[in-house]
Chain A
Amino acid sequence: MLDILYSIIPQMLFFAAPLIFTALGGVYSERSGVINIGLEGLMVIGAFSSVTFNLLYADVLGDATPWYSLLVAIIAGMLFSLIHAVATITFRADQTVTGVAINMLALGFGVFMIKQIFGKGQTDFISQPIYSTDVPFLVDIPVIGKMFFNNMYITSYIAIVLSFVAWYVLYKTPFGLRIRAVGEHPMAADTNGIKVYTTRYIGVIISGALAGLGGAVFAMTISLNFSVSTIAGQGFMAIAAVIFGKWNPLGAMGAALFFGFAQSLSVVGSSIPLLENVPQVYLLIAPYVLTILALAGFIGRSVAPKASGVPYVKGSR
C-alpha cells in the first residue's frame, strides 16, 4: 500500500502543478468579474515563450535558464492577457467570445512564430529543463520523506505555497476585498471609490501571469518542447478546477490535485491488486467520471461571483 502512495503522490504533484498555477489565475480573473475562457491560450503563450527563450538562451544562461524562462512566460502571459482585458473591460466585448478568440490567436501565433524562428513546425527538445530533486534532510524522514520529498519538482511546492498566498491575498487583504467586491457588485464598489476598471485589469493581468507560468511549467517539466499539441486541454481542465474549487484559491488547488490523483491512479491502477483485473479502458475514463461525479454531487452548489461575465458600465444600474 505504501509503495503505491510513494508512486502516486509525486506523480499527482507534478501533474497538478501547471493546473494549479493556471487555476489560481482563473480564480483572480473571475473573482474580479471577468470570465477567462482564454486560460488555454495563455498557457500556450507561456509554453511557447518559455521554450523559445530556453532554446535561444540556454548557452548564455546555463543552469539558470529555466527560471528565466518562467519569468519570460509570466511577462508574455501578462502582455497577452491585456488583449482580453482591453476587449472585455474597456470595450465591453462578450467575455466568452473574446476568450475563445484568445485561445485561437495564441495557438496560431505560437505555431507561426516557431516556423519563423526555427523554420519547422515544432521545436527541438530544450536542453535546460527543470529537473526533479530530493529535498535535502526532509527526504530522510521515514514514510513522509519518501512520499512528499523524493524526486519532486520544486515547481510543485511553489504551486502549493502560492495557493496559500493567493488565498491570503484574496480574503485577508484590502486588495483582495476590492477584487471580490468588483466581481460581486461593481456598482456598489464604484460608489465606495474603488476603481472598477483598474481592479478588473489587475485581475485579468494576474490571470495572464499565472496561466503563462502554468504553461511554462508544463513545458519545462513535462513536454520539453513546443508544438501545436503541447497544450491540449490543460487550460480547460484548469477552468474546471476553478469551478470545482468554488472560485476559492485553496479549492482550486484541491481540485487540481484531485485531477492529478485521478490521472495518476488510472495509470498506477493496473499494478494495484484490487484494480488489477479492471479493464484498462475503465481506468482511463476514471478521472473524467470521478470529476463529473464530484461536480454533480459531492461539492454542493458552486456559485460564480455575481458580476462575473457582466461588463461594467459606469453609471448604469
Chain B
Amino acid sequence: MKMRRYAVLLGLILVVGVVLSACGSGSSSGQGGSGDSFKTAMVTDTGGIDDKSFNQSAWEGLTKFGEDNDLKEKEGYDYLQSNSASDYAGNLNRLVQSNTDLIFGVGFKLAEDIGKVADQNKETHFAIIDSVVEKDNVASIVFEEQQGSFLAGVAAATKSDSGKIGFVGGEESELIKKFEAGYVAGAKSVNKDIEVDVQYAGSFGAPDKGKLIASNMYNSGVDVIYHSAGGTGNGVFAQAKDLKNNNPEGNYWVIGVDRDQYDEGQIGDNNVTLTSMLKAVDVAVARVAQDSKDGEFPGGEIVSFGLKDDGIGIAETNTEAYTDDIKSAVDEWKQKIIDGDVTAPGTADELKAYVDSL
C-alpha cells in the first residue's frame, strides 16, 4: 500500500518536471546576450562555493562583479551547486532556461557538458574555467600556471640549502605537467645543478600517499617541496609540520598551490609554507563577466591569464621565510617573464629545450 503511494507520488513529480521543463525551453528561445537586465551565473563542480579553492574563488569574482555593477544576488548573479558529476548538465540547462546571459562552468570537469549544452543553446554565452571548449558561444578561461610555477621554482632554488628540491603532483595530466615544467625550469634558472625530485601520487585525494612521498623526499635531503596535488597536498603539509615539530631548526618547506596556503603551514610559532602559487580565478571571472556585460564577450576565444594581468601570482605572506633576497630574485624573473625576455615552459618538450639553452 505504502509502496503504491510512493509510486504515484514519483509519477506526479515526473509529470510536473516534464511539463515545467517544456515551458522553460519554450520561453527561453530568442533570449541571451542582449537582455535589458544582465544576468550571469556559475555552476560549481562538486566542491561547492566554500571549498577554499576554485569554486570559492570563482564565486568571489562573480560577487565582486555583481557588486561593481549594482546587481542583486539571485537576480543578477547566482550559482548552482553540483553535488555529483551527473548534476552538471541539469544545472547548466536550468540556467539556460532561466534566461541567464552568461554561464560559467567552474573547472575542467564541466567542459564536456558545457560543450553539449552550448551546442543546443547557441544564443546563450558560456565560459569554461581551466579548459578549452571550441565553440563560438564559449569563452575558454585558462591560466599560465607555468609562469607562477616558474617563480615558485625560483623561490625554492633560492631557499634550498641542500641543492635538492621536490615536486609532488596529483594525477599525471597535461595540466599538472604545466606546473612541473615551469617549476623545474624556474629552479634550474637559478641553480643549473639543482636536483628536482618529481613524484606523482596518482590521486588528488590521497593525503596518506602525499605524506609518504613527502616523508621520503625530506629523508633524502630535499628541503623545499612544491605540491600541486589538492587534498593529497595536505599530507605534504602534515609531514613537513611533523618534522618541523621534532626539529624546529630544520629546513622543511612547502610551497602551496592555487591560493595562499599560509594557514595550512602554521605550527606553533613556526610556519612551513614558504610561499604559494596563486591562481586568481576571481580576477578572471570578474573580467570576463564585465567584458560580456559591456558587449565584448570573447566567444570562441581562449582567454589566458598570467603574471601580466594578475591572473597568476606568488604569495608573500610568510615574511620570515620568504626573505628579501628570495623576493628580489622572484621579482627579477617575474619582470623578465612579463617583458617577454623569458618564456616559462609548459610541457616536457619545452622544458627540455629550455634547460638545454641554459
Q: Do chains A and B interact in one complex? A: yes
Report how far A315 CA is from B163 CA in the complex, Å.
Answer: 74
Is A264 touching B263 in the complex (CB atoms < 8 A)? no
In the complex, which residues of chain A have a beta carbon less than 8 angstroms from the beta carbon of B206? 232
Cβ of B272 to closest chain A Cβ, rounded Å: 11
Bound together, the chains give a CA A227 to CA B53 distance in angstroms of 13
| A90 touches B (CB below 8 Å) | no
Q: Is A268 an interface residue (CB 8 A)?
A: yes
Do A224 and B237 touch across chains, with their CB atoms under 8 A apart?
yes
Does A268 contact B216, Cβ atoms closer than 8 Å? yes
- The winner among A7, A131, A229 for most chain B CB atoms within 10 A is A229
Q: Is the CB of A121 within 8 A of B263?
A: no
Q: Is the CB of A121 within 8 A of B48?
A: yes
A268→B209 CA distance, assembly (Å): 11
Roughly how many angstroms separate A146 CA and B228 CA in the complex, as a whole number?
A: 31
Stretch from B33-41, B101-109, B240-248, B280-288 that touches the partner: B240-248
- Smallest beta-carbon distance A131→chain B, Å: 5
B231 touches A229 (CB 8 A): yes
Partner of A222, one of B202, B238, B263: B238
230-269 of chain A: CB within 8 A of chain B: 230, 232, 234, 263-264, 267-268
Residue-by-residue, is A115-128 near B (CB-CB < 8 Å gives 1, otherwise 0)?
10001111011010
Flag if B205 contacts A232 (CB, 8 Å).
Answer: yes
Give chain B interface residues in 186-206, CB to chain A under 8 Å: 199-200, 202, 205-206
Report if B215 contacts A (CB, 8 A).
Answer: yes
**Residues of chain A contacted by B48 (CB below 8 angstroms):** 121
Closest-by-CB residue of A relative to B46 is A228
In the complex the two chains form, is B50's CB within 8 Å of A11's CB? no
Contact with B along A48-87 (1 / 0, CB 8 A): 0000000000000000000000000000000000000000
Complex contact A267–B237 (CB within 8 A): no
Identity of the chain A residue whose Cβ is nearest the Cβ of B208 in the assembled complex: A222
- The one of A15, A225, A270 in contact with B234, judged by C-beta atoms closer than 8 angstroms, is A225
Residue of B215, B220, B231, B234 near A271 (CB, 8 A) is B220
Is B341 an interface position by the 8 A CB rule? no
Cross-chain contact B237 with A270 (CB below 8 angstroms): no
> Given A131-B246, A224-B237, A267-B213, is A121 in contact with B51 using a C-beta cutoff of 8 Å?
yes
With A230-B207, A263-B212, A280-B199 in contact, do A129 and B238 touch (Cβ < 8 Å)?
A: yes
What class of interface size applies to chain B in its complex with A? 20 to 34
Tell me which residues from 173 to 218 in chain A have a Cβ below 8 Å from any Cβ of chain B. 218
Confirm or deny: A291 has a beta carbon within 8 angstroms of a beta carbon on chain B: no
Say yes or no for A223: interface residue by CB 8 A criterion: yes
Q: How far is the CB of B196 from chain A (nearest CB, A)?
A: 13
CA of A230 to CA of B230 in the docked complex: distance in angstroms?
A: 12
B216-A267 in contact (CB<8A): yes
Is A96 an interface position by the 8 A CB rule? no
State A218–B235 Cα separation when bound (angstroms). Answer: 11
What per-residue 1/0 map shows which CB atoms of B214-232 lie under 8 Å from chain A? 0110011000000000010
B215 near A11: Cβ-Cβ < 8 Å: yes
Bound CA span A3–B161, Å: 22
- Residues on A with beta carbons closer than 8 Å to the beta carbon of B199: 267, 270, 280
Q: Does B178 contact A (CB under 8 A)?
A: no
Asked if residues A120 and B237 are in contact (CB atoms below 8 Å), the reply is no
Cβ contact within 8 Å between A125 and B246: no
Task: Check if A131 sits within 8 Å of B245, measured CB to CB.
Answer: yes
Give Cα A304 to B90, complex, Å. 45
A14 to B242, CA, bound (A): 12
Q: Tell me the minimal C-beta distance from B256 to chain A in angstroms.
A: 12
Q: Which residues of B contact A125 (CB under 8 A)?
A: 234, 237, 263-264, 266
B-binding residues in A (CB < 8 A): 6-7, 10-11, 14-15, 115, 119-122, 124-125, 127, 129, 131-134, 151, 218, 221-225, 227, 229-230, 232, 234, 263-264, 267-268, 270-271, 280, 284
CB-CB nearest 9 A-B residue pairs = A229-B205, A120-B50, A223-B207, A131-B245, A267-B212, A121-B48, A284-B202, A121-B50, A7-B219
Additional A-B contact list (4), CB under 8 Å, known A133-B246, A223-B234: A120-B50, A121-B51, A125-B237, A267-B212
